[in-house]
Amino acid sequence: MARILLIILLVLVVVLALTGVGMWGYNQFRPITVSVNGAEQRVSANTSLGKLAADHDDFGAKPGKLLSVSGKVLKRDGGGPVRYTLNGKGIGDADAAKDAGAAGSAKSATTSNKGSAAYGTNAPIDLNKVKLPENAKITVKDGKNLTEQHDVRRTMVPFGVSVNGHGVIQKLVQRGKQGVKEVWIGKISGEQVDKGVVKEPKNVIVDTFSPKPVTHKVVALTFDDGPSQYSGPILDILKEKGVKATFFDVGNGAAAWPQFEQRMVAEGHQVASHSYSHPDMFKLNPDQLRDNITQGLANIKAASGVTTKMLRAPYGNFGPNQWLQTSDLIDYNVIWTVDTEDWKKPGAPAIANAALSKAYNGAVILMHDGGGDRSEDIAALPGIIDGLKGQGYEFVTIDQLMAMNGK
């Protein structure tokens, strides 16, 4: 009896085992449907993408070519492999899709570029390990043409400048940026190919204008060449009269009289730069020009904590060439429209008369609080403020004046 039971048990085990093997076998070899470039194919379920590709000779698709830098064919099948996608996902040519474009700095230099040919280093996914699911959607395309490895010789393309319009304020609207030219030198072919300008330069663009306030009459009082011992009495008068002004300060003066620089800021005036040492900027070479502006701005920052990018060039001498050299340093160059000619020392009444007779809405009035004996300015200032107030003017800084343009 026990023996019969044992036999039945063994038979059951064998039947179950055979059934399992049979189902496994069926799963491995049952036919499934896949589509290649839209055409249906019947394959057995264990078929890999690699086998399918080999059986159909890549469905007529070819590897890409390896090209020289001038575009000559170096190796007919030396480019990227035939490209497969499975259910929308790329397979096997991830490395080959890299572009030939060389990134990097625009300094004049030669750099090595691997090109787009991941030549000999490409390790695509093994298509034989890619199983095909039921209803797989496969696409096949030719491989990409790749360019040989090459050195890239870069040279800079200088930018230009355009200063447009007329008026008292020059405002930078675009900084200059160098462009880049490239020559590619093929490592296999030895060819040199001029790729021309691969990055266009950006010109310096400066707009010139005169603010036109429309709601009420304003003037901007400006003082140049300070700070100096004359700045204190001028600040006293402005404070007493409740008037804000703009000081275009010389860097070495700011270093010598930081207490006045700080007082100007504390009392609500605008401080801006009048260079470091008051040179004629038309006569400076590019390095001297940049140094003088940089040091002037730095001294104002050191004395007062104010970061300004506004310049009034000494004598107003600042043209396209100066903008070309310094567009990364300053945003504004501000001149003046009413010259009191105080520098001629004509006497306080003449200075006051010049300001009062020449003022108009939006005028930028030039006076001085340094660079010589400014006692005539001190004597003239109360009358100038009172007289202009009597004519209905309000006093604004240059920043305020610009903000009122058309308002």
Confirm or reject binding of residue 369 to Zn ion (CB under 5 A).
no
Distances (CA, A) of 158 to 16, 155, 202, 203, 358: 83, 10, 9, 9, 43
**In the chain, how long is the greatest CA-to-CA distance?**
141
Asked if 166 is an active-site residue, the reply is: no
Instruction: Give the C-alpha separation, 290 to 249, whole Å.
Output: 17
How long is the chain?
Answer: 407
Residue showing the smallest CB distance to Zn ion in the complex? 224
Please, are residues 308 and 300 in contact by the beta-carbon 8 Å criterion? yes
Confirm or reject binding of residue 226 to Zn ion (CB under 5 A).
no
Instruction: Tell me, residue by residue from 285 to 314, as one string, x for binding to Zn ion by CB under 5 A and - for no binding.
Output: -----------------------------x
Confirm or reject binding of residue 182 to Zn ion (CB under 5 A).
no
DSSP helix/strand/coil, 345: coil
Q: How far is the CB of 260 from Zn ion (least distance, A)?
A: 16
Please pick, among 58, 93, 150, 224, the residue that the annotation labels catalytic: 224
Instruction: Give the C-alpha separation, 367 to 282, whole Å.
Output: 22
Q: How far is the CB of 312 from Zn ion (least distance, A)?
A: 7
Q: Which of 291, 261, 259 is nearest to 276 (CA)?
A: 291
If you search the block for the tokens 């405002």, which residue do you land on?
A: 171
Among 58, 148, 224, 261, binds Zn ion (CB under 5 A): 224
Q: How far is the CB of 228 from Zn ion (least distance, A)?
A: 12
Confirm or reject binding of residue 249 to Zn ion (CB under 5 A).
no
Please, are residues 388 and 363 in contact by the beta-carbon 8 Å criterion? no
Confirm or reject binding of residue 342 to Zn ion (CB under 5 A).
no
Confirm or reject binding of residue 370 to Zn ion (CB under 5 A).
no
Asked if 368 is an active-site residue, the reply is: yes
Instruction: Give the C-alpha separation, 260 to 382, whole Å.
Output: 19
Which one, 223 or 393, has the nearer CB to Zn ion?
A: 223
Which one, 58 or 342, has the nearer CB to Zn ion?
A: 342
Which one, 224 or 369, has the nearer CB to Zn ion?
A: 224
End-to-end CA distance of the chain: 113
- Six-digit token pair at 2? 């026990």
- Tell me how many residues contact Zn ion (CB under 5 A): 3
Q: Which stretch binds Zn ion (CB under 5 A): 1-9, 122-130, 134-142, 222-230?
A: 222-230
Instruction: Give the C-alpha separation, 151 to 302, whole Å.
Output: 46
Confirm or reject binding of residue 377 to Zn ion (CB under 5 A).
no
Confirm or reject binding of residue 64 to Zn ion (CB under 5 A).
no
Please, are residues 236 and 260 in contact by the beta-carbon 8 Å criterion? no
Active-site residue list: 224, 368
Residues lying near Zn ion in the complex (CB under 5 A) are found at 224-225, 314
